[in-house]
């Protein structure tokens, strides 16, 4: 800290000055207020005598200056006293302007320096330097003016080591309550708590004491592990404790058995692993259909047989919490599926027929899939699968359904395909004539009936024509009478001649 002016010369006090100081001490009564106080301020001086502490709050080891403002111009001397009185036993130092001499008193510790402007410097302050200091100013005419200043010295917390103590460093989850105490007895401090380097979250399970020195955790969980830190603060410094981590005992949780597969091919290796969240780590026990098999975390069978199918139980135990938990897994050994075949009545069909394809298999509990031209069969509105997908019905079948069909049977561990069935759909022109088969048959029958009718008519006309010519010849030979001729003419209709002369050319 740079002094406001050079320190005054130290030396013996002249006898006149000493007599003056003694007389002043004898007749001076110190102020009782703890505020900065001004006495006997002349009416012609507007700015009062004041003392500024720089800084007002200091850490141990720092320097503090009691800086004087507005010292009277007619000052002939001044003295500093520790406390709020001007008793000689509490004098720190004094200065006489005329002789420029400084005197030290009984309260001088060797760390104080008095400057000629009245300011007083404290170097390497200590906690017991905290308090009030009185400046006694002597002016010409033996007028006296006093002012009081003060500063506070705090402990430098960065140099203080303290720890967090716990009533239980290994609590059991959901069972125990933990009390953490910031083990610091430093006065005039504030306590703050941190968990995982963050301020404490709001929780009904966390409770602070009135002075924040103690933190209580009710019914701890595994998430309360920490680390925890306690920070101590005062007006000039702060310091955190070393972190404390709780060893929360918990578990075991429900174990997880891996891998997750439940179906295995007969003869395959079975290798199961069991894992449960637990602190400390759990002990593991394996059971098969309720019978203890082994006490390990892993369970292994080199070649799985059909009689190895059943329930496998993993039990996890934590001796520190006294808890255990278990998980059951069902394992089933399966044989590989056999090759299926496709059955149908005819592999060459006519368009618009109904076709049924059936996938035959001796395996049970299998799934059936259908493929067309090596791709998964896309079902159309003309296709229908039976329950279980064993039969594929195509109604009606079209030319585009011609191709290779095969089915596949699967179980959880194997699959097998049938041989390819080549289905041929023949083209039927009737489907493209615009008439149904019944309509075409009706037309054919109608045409044939018409031809027969015409043939019958021609034959009838032929017979009629032939018979008429014979009768005319007989009449000519008999030479009938005119009356007979007249009768014959009246008996025949007028159009008979035209009918006899009609000839049909098919």
Which range (54-68, 199-213, 428-442, 479-493) has the least confidence?
Answer: 479-493
Mean pLDDT along residues 461-465: 72
C-alpha 172/C-alpha 35 separation (Å) is 56
What pLDDT shows up at residue 160? 82
C-alpha 355/C-alpha 394 separation (Å) is 5
Kindly state the percentage of the chain with pLDDT values over 90: 69
Encode pLDDT of 107-155 as tens digits.
999 999 999 999 999 999 999 999 999 999 999 988 899 999 999 999 8
3-state per-residue secondary structure call for 288-323: ECCEEEECCCEEEECCCCHHHCEEEEEEEEECCCCE
**Under 8 Å between Cβ of 217 and 180:** yes
Tally of CB atoms within 10 A around 68: 22
Please, which pLDDT band fits residue 467 given cuts at 50, 70 and 90? Answer: low
What pLDDT shows up at residue 429? 65
Scan for tokens 């920070």, then name that residue. 231
Phi-psi region of 61 (alpha: psi -120 to 50; beta: other; left: phi over 0): left
More confident of the two residues 172 and 22: 172
Integer-rounded Cα radius of gyration of the chain: 63
- The continuous run of DSSP H or E covering 198 comes out as strand 198-199
C-alpha 418/C-alpha 405 separation (Å) is 9
Mean pLDDT along residues 351-367: 95
Residues in the chain: 506
| Predicted TM-score of the model (pTM) | 0.62
Tally of CB atoms within 10 A around 106: 11
- The continuous run of DSSP H or E covering 456 comes out as helix 437-478
Scan for tokens 């320097």, then name that residue. 63
C-alpha dist (Å) from residue 390 to 295, 340, 356, 357, 386? 47, 11, 10, 8, 6
Encode pLDDT of 254-308 as tens digits.
999 999 999 999 999 999 999 999 999 999 999 999 999 999 999 999 999 999 9
What pLDDT shows up at residue 188? 79
Closest CA to 216 of 196, 197, 185, 193: 193
C-alpha 375/C-alpha 404 separation (Å) is 10
Encode pLDDT of 189-230 as tens digits.
899 999 999 999 988 999 999 999 999 999 999 999 999 999
On the question of pLDDT at 351 being above 50, the answer is: yes
On the question of pLDDT at 60 being above 70, the answer is: yes
Tally of CB atoms within 10 A around 58: 22
3-state per-residue secondary structure call for 205-274: CEEECCCCCEEEECCCCHHHCCCEEEEEECCCCEEECCCECCCCEECCCCCEEECCCCEEECCCCEEEEE
C-alpha 339/C-alpha 368 separation (Å) is 12
C-alpha 276/C-alpha 325 separation (Å) is 9
C-alpha 368/C-alpha 92 separation (Å) is 108
User: How many CA atoms, within 13 angstroms, populate the side-chain half-sphere of residue 423?
Assistant: 28
Phi-psi region of 446 (alpha: psi -120 to 50; beta: other; left: phi over 0): alpha
Tally of CB atoms within 10 A around 318: 22
DSSP per-residue string spanning 47-112 = SPPEEEEESSEEETT--EEEEEES--TTEEEEEEEESSS--GGGEEEEEETTTTEEEE-TT--S-E
What pLDDT shows up at residue 453? 81
C-alpha 73/C-alpha 88 separation (Å) is 25
Strands (E), 335-399: 341-343, 348-350, 355-360, 367-372, 375-376, 383-385, 391-394
Encode pLDDT of 165-187 as tens digits.
999 999 999 999 999 999 877 77
**Under 8 Å between Cβ of 396 and 351:** yes
Closest CA to 155 of 248, 64, 73, 58: 58
Q: Is 467 helix (H, G, I), strand (E, B) or coil?
A: helix
């Amino acid at each position: 800290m740079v002094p406001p002016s050079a320190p005054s010369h130290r030396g013996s006090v002249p006898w006149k000055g000493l007599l003056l100081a003694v007389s002043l001490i004898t007749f001076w009564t110190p102020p009782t207020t703890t505020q900065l106080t001004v006495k006997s301020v002349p009416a012609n001086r507007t700015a009062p005598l004041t003392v500024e502490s720089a800084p007002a709050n200091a850490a141990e080891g720092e320097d503090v200056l009691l800086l004087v403002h507005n010292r009277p111009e007619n000052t002939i001397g001044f003295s500093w006293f520790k406390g709020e009185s001007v008793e000689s036993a509490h004098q720190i130092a004094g200065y006489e302007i005329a002789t420029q001499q400084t005197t030290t008193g009984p309260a001088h510790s060797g760390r104080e320096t008095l400057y000629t402007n009245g300011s007083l410097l404290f170097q390497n302050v200590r906690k017991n330097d905290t308090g009030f200091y009185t400046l006694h100013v002597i002016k010409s005419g033996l007028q006296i003016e006093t002012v009081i200043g003060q500063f506070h010295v705090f402990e430098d917390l960065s140099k203080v080591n303290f720890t967090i103590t716990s009533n239980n460093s290994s609590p059991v989850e959901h069972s125990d309550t933990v009390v953490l105490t910031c083990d610091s007895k430093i006065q005039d401090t504030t306590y703050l708590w941190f968990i995982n380097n963050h301020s404490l979250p709001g929780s009904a399970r966390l409770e602070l004491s009135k002075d924040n020195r103690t933190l209580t955790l009710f019914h701890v969980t595994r998430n309360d592990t920490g680390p925890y830190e306690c920070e101590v603060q005062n007006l000039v410094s702060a310091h955190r404790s070393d972190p404390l981590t709780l060893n929360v005992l918990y578990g075991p949780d429900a174990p997880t058995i891996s891998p997750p597969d439940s179906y295995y091919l007969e003869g395959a290796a079975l290798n199961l692993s069991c894992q449960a969240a637990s602190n400390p780590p759990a002990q593991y026990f394996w059971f098969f259909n309720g019978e203890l098999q082994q006490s390990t975390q892993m369970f292994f069978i080199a070649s799985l047989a059909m009689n190895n199918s059943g329930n496998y139980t993993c039990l996890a135990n934590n001796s520190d919490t006294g808890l255990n938990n278990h998980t059951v897994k069902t394992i089933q050994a399966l044989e590989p599926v056999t090759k299926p075949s496709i059955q149908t009545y005819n592999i060459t069909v006519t368009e618009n027929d109904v076709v049924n394809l059936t996938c035959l298999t001796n395996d049970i509990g299998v799934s059936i899939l259908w493929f067309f031209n090596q791709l998964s069969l896309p079902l159309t509105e003309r296709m229908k699968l039976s329950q279980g997908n064993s039969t594929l019905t195509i109604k009606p079948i079209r030319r585009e359904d011609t191709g290779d069909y095969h089915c596949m049977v699967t179980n959880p561990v194997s699959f097998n395909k049938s041989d390819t069935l080549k289905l041929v759909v023949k083209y039927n022109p009737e489907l493209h004539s615009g008439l149904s088969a019944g309509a075409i048959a009706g037309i054919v029958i109608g045409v044939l009936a018409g031809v027969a009718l015409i043939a019958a008519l021609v034959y009838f006309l032929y017979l009629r024509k032939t018979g008429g010519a014979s009768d005319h010849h007989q009449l000519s030979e008999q030479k009938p009478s005119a009356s007979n001729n007249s009768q014959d003419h009246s008996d025949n209709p007028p159009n008979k001649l035209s009918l006899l002369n009609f000839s049909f050319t098919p």
